[in-house]
Structure formats: C-alpha cells, structure tokens
Amino acid sequence: MHNPLNDMPPSFYAVIVLAIGAIVWKTCKALTNPLAHLPGPAISKWTNRRFQLAVMTGERTRYEHALHERYGPVVRISPYEVSLASSSAAKMIYQIGSPFLKTPWYNIAVGDESGLFTLLDSKAYARHRRLLAHNYSENWIKNMEPYIAAKTRTAVSKMAATVDRKGYVNVNEWFWFMSTDVISEAAFGESFDLLKIGGKNKYIHDLEIDGLRSILRAEFPFLGKIAAYMLLGNSEDVEQGKMRMQSYTEGRLAAYWKAYEADPENVKPTLLTKAYAALQDGSISHRSMEADARTNIVAGTDTTASTATFAVWYLSKHPEIEQALIGEVSALPETFDDEQLRTLPLLDKVIKETLRIRPSVGQGLPRAVPAGGATIEGHYIPEGTTVAIPAYTMHRLRSVWHDPEKFDPSRWDHVTKDMKDSFVPFGGGSRVCIGQHFSQLELRHALANFYRTFNSGMVAPKAEGFGEDDMTPMSFFVTALKGKRCLLQRRAKQ
C-alpha cells in the first residue's frame, strides 16, 4: 500500500521537526518558568495573550480583579508579570527609597526618557522631582487658582445653557473640555480654549492618536509598526501629528520663556514657572521641560474629567447624598476659594469615595523586582519580574472596605490604617503623582460650582438610548467611559 508521506519533500519533515521542537521548547520553558509556582490561570504560564486581550478591550482592571478574587493577593498574569493586591505589598513596593524601580515599559510607551514620568534611575528622578516640586506644591498652585476656578465656572455655565436648550447635557464632554483647558493653561501658559469652541483642536486629535500608538507600542512591541498601521492608518500621518505636537510644545514654551525673561515676577504662574530658572544654569534641559509639559496634558485631562463625571453620576443615583452636598456648597459665599472648599467635609468624602470606586488609573503601575528577588505575601518572586499594584483591586479588598462596590462617602467618617494603606489612587511613595494637589483643587471647584448651579440635583434622562452600560469603566491606562458620555438632566424639584 502506497504511503503518501513517502512523497513528501524533505522540507515537510523539517517543518514538522521544527514545530515539535518549538512545542517541546515552549513546554519546558513554561514548566521551568520561575513564576510557575505562583497562583494564577494556567494559560499565564505559557503566554500573555489572554492578558493582552484584556488590555486591548479595556477590560484589564476587571480581569485582574477577577483573578485576585479567585487566586488571592499574588497572581501570575503572564509568564513574566505578577499582580499584587495587599496593603503589605503596596507598602513594600511604594515605600520611600523602594528598590522596586520603574520598568522600561514607561519609556516604550511614551517614547521619551527625558521627562519626570519616564525617568527610571532613582537618583536622576529625585533630582528632577526636586526641581519641579515647588511648581506642584499646594502653596504655588494657589497662584493658579483664579484661572482654574474661572474655567470650572465657564464649564458649568455651558452645561446649564445646554440643559436649558436641550433638556439634558453630556457632562463628561464639558468636564473634559474644562480639564483640558485648565491643564493646557497650566502647562503652556495658554489655554486651548476648548470650552469656547465646544470641540477638540488639532493638538488634542494628534495626542489621542499618539496615545493609542503608545499603548500598542508598550503592550504589543512584537507587532510594532504593523499594528499601528492596521489600527491608525497611514504611518506618515501619525508621524506628522507627532511633529505638530512637538512644534506646538516648543513654540509655546519658547513664548513663555521669553515672557518669563522679560518679567519673571509677573509672568502667568504655571506648573513649570519655577523650573525656568533651572534652564539658565543647565539643571534642566529644554527637552526635559517639553516632555514634562506634554506629560501634564496627558495626566491632567481624562483623569480629572472622568473623576468629576463619575462623582456627579454616582450622586445622581444617591439623591439623599446629592442633596446634602448641595446644601453644603450652597452655604458658601458668592465668592469662595479653595481654603473654604477644603473645610467642606462631605465634598472631601465624595471626592475620596469617587477616587476609590472609580480610580482614574485603576491598573497597576509596572515595577521591577530588584536584585536578589523578593518574598511577598509568602511567595518568592525572582529579580527582574514585573510586578504591579492595581488600584482598582486595592480599593475593593473585602478585608479593608465594607461592601466595596457600594458608593458610600460615609465610610470616610472613620478612616482606618488599612484604608490609608490600601487607598492608592495616585500611586505611592516617592513616585506618587506629583499633580495630585492640582487635580484635587480643580475637582473641588468643579463640583462646588456644579451643585451651586444645578441645585435641584441631576438625574439620567430617557434620551439617546443612554443607560448604565455607557458608564461602564474601560481601562486604557486611564479610565474612560464605555459610551464616552454621561447624560444628565435637572432633577424635578419636590
């Protein structure tokens, strides 16, 4: 009987041998992986593809959380990455002087190693942060409060006008215009004026495209330009957009630098004002300042907008809390400042609870296990492994937070040590978000002005098919709304 295999060319057998060899190699690698002993789904011993699917579909935080619910505080999520969710792990990773340094993921994602966000060397980072620290201090930020407050008032007045005309408003859209205008003025000394034009400008369009490319570059480096081309189109257009952003950044900072040189005492205060003096003695380079300015734009838009949006959304579903907050902010004088806002206990608790239940960055921030490895929650993790603390899960630890899925600002009436240790919306340690004070000042003004204007409260309308699904949080590093909208109308007065 004729065997058809005898007719196969030698190359066929070579392919078979290579395939078998690859399977054997992959199997040996999975079984000998130093992370193989850790809890986690079986597929994560072999590949990170399931994890990458969660990343690209915006499901990362929920996927990781489900794994922690099943496997505990230490979970292997890929052959070389571990997710950690416990207060003791957070203290170890985030402690001041921690040997758990940022991984090259940040450089790959941003494509620039000169800014504060991407500096990996701890000493270089400490020097750079010291140069910028005064610009982000609560005392200096007070100098920017007048234009921050003005833009929050403008945003709310635009929302009110839309409600009067249309019956309801997409608050997420206007909070996004607000936060973008605020941070662009704070970064460049000049606002993008999105509140005025009611839409996005070219810089923001280019920034969004570059942000998507950054995710592809960081999470799918093996696909490189192929993935970017498939999802973003003409790579030449993408590069031109990057050049436009660079040109704008250079031009705006040069104009501000000129104004600073002419009258340093009276120039408009920004997040980089005090760093300009460091340019003169070479302590900071133009490239580093440009990188920090661009990072400010990315860090100060979707983050603040999503937090403000989720705050008013949750309050619309809890009218008793909403009315209490309305009473609190309505008692403010006609002209108020942040010193007065900081004395409002419910406003503070609402912001904290929103940051807990919907952190603007819910995923873990990658760190590398130092030389010699580390034992965390009873598990040895070898050096070089990527570890991360997901805020989304930290804020849902059942051992710390009672009924964690419930929006309950009153939980902040009695803050425990475990709550403090597990509350990480801005990261922690020396790498804690440098802009947290700026963001919280803006949120206080935004919510106070919002509820002084919409003093009957807000409720979701039956319009445009809007519903709960639109408010599903999607994790693309920064948390976004699935439907990209949050429609609200005035609550009928009782």
Written as one string, the DSSP assignment of 248-260 is HHHHHHHHHHHHH
Separation of alpha carbons 213 and 319, rounded Å = 41
Tell how strand 379-381 and strand 386-388 pair up.
unpaired
* Under 8 Å between Cβ of 430 and 129: yes
State the DSSP code for 141. Answer: H
Domains and CATH numbers, the chain: 104-364+423-490 (1.10.630.10)
- 484: amino acid identity, one letter: K
* Under 8 Å between Cβ of 71 and 376: no
Q: Where are the alpha helices (DSSP H) in 2-81?
A: 10-32, 43-46, 49-56, 60-71
Separation of alpha carbons 216 and 236, rounded Å = 17
Distance of CA 290 to the CA centre of its chain: 20
**Long-range contacts, stretch 205-214, CB < 8 angstroms, 24+ apart:** 205/241, 206/241, 206/242, 206/244, 206/245, 207/245, 207/297, 207/298, 209/238, 209/241, 210/238, 210/241, 210/242, 210/245, 211/298, 213/238, 214/109, 214/110, 214/111
Quote the pLDDT of residue 239.
76
* Under 8 Å between Cβ of 159 and 446: no
Quote the pLDDT of residue 110.
76
Nearest Cα to Cα of residue 432 among 474, 461, 389: 389
Taking only the tens of pLDDT, the chain with its 494 residues reads 556 656 656 665 555 656 565 555 455 555 557 899 999 999 999 999 999 999 989 999 999 999 999 999 999 999 999 999 999 999 999 998 899 999 988 887 776 668 898 888 889 999 999 999 999 999 999 999 999 999 999 999 999 999 999 999 999 999 999 999 999 999 999 999 999 999 998 888 888 887 777 777 777 766 655 555 555 555 567 778 888 988 999 999 999 999 999 998 899 999 999 888 888 888 889 899 999 999 999 899 999 999 999 999 999 999 999 999 999 999 999 999 999 999 999 999 999 999 999 999 999 999 999 999 999 999 999 999 999 999 999 999 999 999 999 999 999 999 999 999 999 999 998 899 999 999 999 999 999 999 999 999 999 999 999 999 999 999 988 999 999 999 999 998 76
Q: Is 486 annotated as a binding residue?
A: no
Separation of alpha carbons 447 and 191, rounded Å = 21
Dihedrals φ, ψ of 14, to 5°?
A: -65, -40
Separation of alpha carbons 488 and 473, rounded Å = 17
